[in-house]
């Protein structure tokens, strides 16, 4: 869990903003809700490496006191610090890439106290992804400082198949955009709405687990979606065990955005120690039911309405035993009684003896926790 500069700021980052964001993570309660990493994405560097040493150089105008200064500041607030680079010759925004400098750059990250590296995939023509991400992984392990490794190769070579020993999270898709469904025209390319990304995640659940996560990209909560869309996007990212990397301006988020991002009971579903990604149990007429086994025999249950009009749900717990063949767990509401807790209204919602009836608003969710 953390915050990353890209979704709101792209290359418009600087020392003052980053320090303010660090302060906002503390004052807003984001840090205490679990958002520990502050990650600078693309465009933190100068356009050239140091001509004498070949080291990466922080942009001297944006970051006049360098990266160790920022890193120390973030650490002084009880958080961890992350940086970005790219496996290719240049980053996506045209700054010096790491190709051929893997060990040297890893030493640079360690020297500034970085705890996290996001490693992108632009300008990699002719490069073997498994080879280069493995090399960077080895370099980070040798660097002398623990560094979480975030693979950002957009799912191109199916990293879920090979990246568990290489890194801690891997992007499963191309970039997210601030739309709920469909795609967003970005000029020469298109970004994906949250629901569009969600559609390709269910088949990947077997690959995700503690220490090696599918990453369906960062959060767009607070970046222009409606309140219900923010809630639905966040709930689903929690259900599918996505790394929760906020991407909004924390210095001026609305109360509603704050309350969504810091809902502890919803976050607890995401952070559950079993680390079993939710499965799509039901899908009809744009109403989906996703379920997720939780520790202690609990389950999360999320009704997702992808329509622009409200839909009723009437779920009869006594009609079936749900089997998750992957985790080999059964939700037996035929014979066992579970209590229901609505995680967004934060209220008890009866138990599984009676059918659950609710109205799911347009582009919204009803999210329950079942416990005994």
φ/ψ (deg, to 5) at 138: -65, -40
Q: From CA 147, how far away is CA 140, in angstroms rounded?
A: 6
Q: Which of 42, 105, 175, 215 is catalytic?
A: 175
Q: Is the Cβ of residue 120 or residue 324 nearer to ligand GLA in the bound state?
A: 120
Tokens of 161: 């198949």
120 is catalytic: yes
- Give the interface segment with ligand GLA, choosing from 53-61, 88-96, 208-216, 337-345 (CB under 6 A): 88-96
DSSP 193-227: -HHHHHTTTGGGGGG-BTTBEEE-----TTTT--H
Is 116 among the residues that bind ligand GLA (CB under 6 A)?
no
Q: Is the Cβ of residue 41 or residue 272 nearer to ligand GLA in the bound state?
A: 41
* Three-point CA angle 257, 210, 330, nearest 5°: 90
DSSP 260-281: HHT-HHHHHHHT-TT-PPPEEE
Q: Is the Cβ of residue 91 or residue 263 nearer to ligand GLA in the bound state?
A: 91
- Give the interface segment with ligand GLA, choosing from 90-98, 302-310, 317-325, 337-345 (CB under 6 A): 90-98
Q: Which of 15, 22, 41, 370 binds ligand GLA (CB under 6 A)?
A: 41
CB neighbour list of residue 301: distance below 8 Å, 6 or more residues apart: 289, 290, 291, 292, 367, 368, 369, 370
Q: Is the Cβ of residue 175 or residue 324 nearer to ligand GLA in the bound state?
A: 175
175 is catalytic: yes
Nearest to 43 by CA among 61, 68, 21, 20: 61
- Give the interface segment with ligand GLA, choosing from 89-97, 271-279, 311-319, 342-350 (CB under 6 A): 89-97
Crossing angle of the two packed helices 15-27 and 66-76, in degrees rounded to 10: 10
Tokens of 64: 């006049």
φ/ψ (deg, to 5) at 39: -120, 125
Is 356 among the residues that bind ligand GLA (CB under 6 A)?
no
Which 281-310 residues touch ligand GLA, going by CB under 6 A?
Answer: none
Measured at CB, which residue is nearest to ligand GLA?
A: 92
- Give the interface segment with ligand GLA, choosing from 86-94, 193-201, 245-253, 357-365 (CB under 6 A): 86-94
Nearest to 232 by CA among 179, 191, 282: 179
Is 120 among the residues that bind ligand GLA (CB under 6 A)?
yes
Q: From CA 292, how far away is CA 369, in angstroms rounded?
A: 9
Q: Would you call 347 exposed, middle or buried from its count of C-beta atoms within 10 A (0-12, 13-18, 19+)? A: exposed
| Contact (Cβ atoms closer than 8 angstroms) between residue 106 and residue 135 | no
Nearest to 102 by CA among 114, 117, 92, 115: 117
Q: From CA 25, how far away is CA 203, in angstroms rounded?
A: 34
Nearest distance from C-beta of residue 18 to ligand GLA, angstroms: 16
Which 222-281 residues touch ligand GLA, going by CB under 6 A?
Answer: none
Q: Is the Cβ of residue 41 or residue 105 nearer to ligand GLA in the bound state?
A: 41
Nearest distance from C-beta of residue 314 to ligand GLA, angstroms: 40
Helix (H, G, I), strand (E, B), or coil: what is residue 168?
coil
Q: Which of 2, 36, 39, 42 binds ligand GLA (CB under 6 A)?
A: 42
Q: Which of 17, 46, 93, 130 binds ligand GLA (CB under 6 A)?
A: 93
Is 133 among the residues that bind ligand GLA (CB under 6 A)?
no
Q: Which of 57, 92, 221, 300 binds ligand GLA (CB under 6 A)?
A: 92
Which 168-227 residues touch ligand GLA, going by CB under 6 A?
Answer: 175
Q: Which of 40, 151, 152, 242 binds ligand GLA (CB under 6 A)?
A: 152
- Residue numbers annotated as active site: 120, 175
Chain residues binding ligand GLA by CB under 6 A are: 6, 41-42, 91-93, 120, 152, 154, 175
């Amino acid at each position: 869990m953390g915050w990353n500069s890209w979704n709101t700021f792209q290359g418009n980052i600087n020392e003052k903003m980053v320090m303010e964001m660090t302060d906002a993570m503390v004052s807003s309660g984001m840090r205490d809700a679990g958002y520990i990493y502050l990650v600078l994405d693309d465009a933190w560097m100068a356009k050239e490496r140091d001509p004498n040493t070949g080291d990466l150089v922080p942009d001297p105008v944006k970051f006049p006191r360098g990266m160790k200064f920022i890193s120390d500041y973030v650490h002084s607030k009880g958080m961890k610090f992350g940086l970005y680079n790219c496996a290719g010759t240049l980053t996506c925004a045209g700054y010096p890439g790491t190709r051929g400098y893997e060990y040297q750059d890893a030493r640079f990250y360690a020297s500034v106290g970085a705890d996290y590296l996001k490693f992108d995939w632009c300008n990699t023509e002719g490069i073997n992804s498994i080879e280069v991400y493995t090399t960077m992984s080895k370099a980070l392990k040798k660097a002398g400082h623990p560094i979480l490794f975030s693979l950002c190769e957009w799912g191109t070579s199916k990293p879920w198949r090979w990246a568990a020993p290489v890194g801690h999270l891997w992007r499963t898709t191309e970039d997210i955009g601030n739309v709920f469904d469909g795609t967003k025209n970005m000029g020469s390319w298109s970004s994906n709405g949250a629901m569009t990304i969600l559609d390709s995640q269910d088949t990947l659940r077997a690959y995700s687990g503690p220490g090696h996560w599918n990453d369906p990209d960062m959060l767009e909560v607070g970046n222009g979606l409606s309140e219900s869309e923010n809630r639905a996007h966040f709930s689903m990212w929690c259900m599918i065990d996505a790394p929760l990397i906020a991407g909004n301006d924390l210095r001026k988020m609305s109360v509603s955005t704050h309350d969504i991002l810091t809902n502890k009971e919803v976050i607890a579903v995401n952070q559950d120690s079993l680390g079993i990604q939710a499965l799509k149990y039901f899908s009809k007429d744009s109403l989906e039911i996703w379920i997720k086994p939780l520790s202690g025999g609990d389950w999360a249950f999320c009704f997702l309405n992808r329509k622009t009009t409200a839909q009723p749900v009437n779920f009869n717990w006594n009609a079936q035993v749900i089997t998750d063949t992957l985790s080999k767990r059964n939700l037996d509401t035929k014979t066992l009684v579970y209590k229901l807790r609505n995680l967004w209204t934060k209220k008890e919602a009866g138990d599984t003896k009676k059918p659950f009836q609710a109205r799911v608003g347009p582009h919204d969710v009803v999210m329950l926790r079942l416990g005994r």
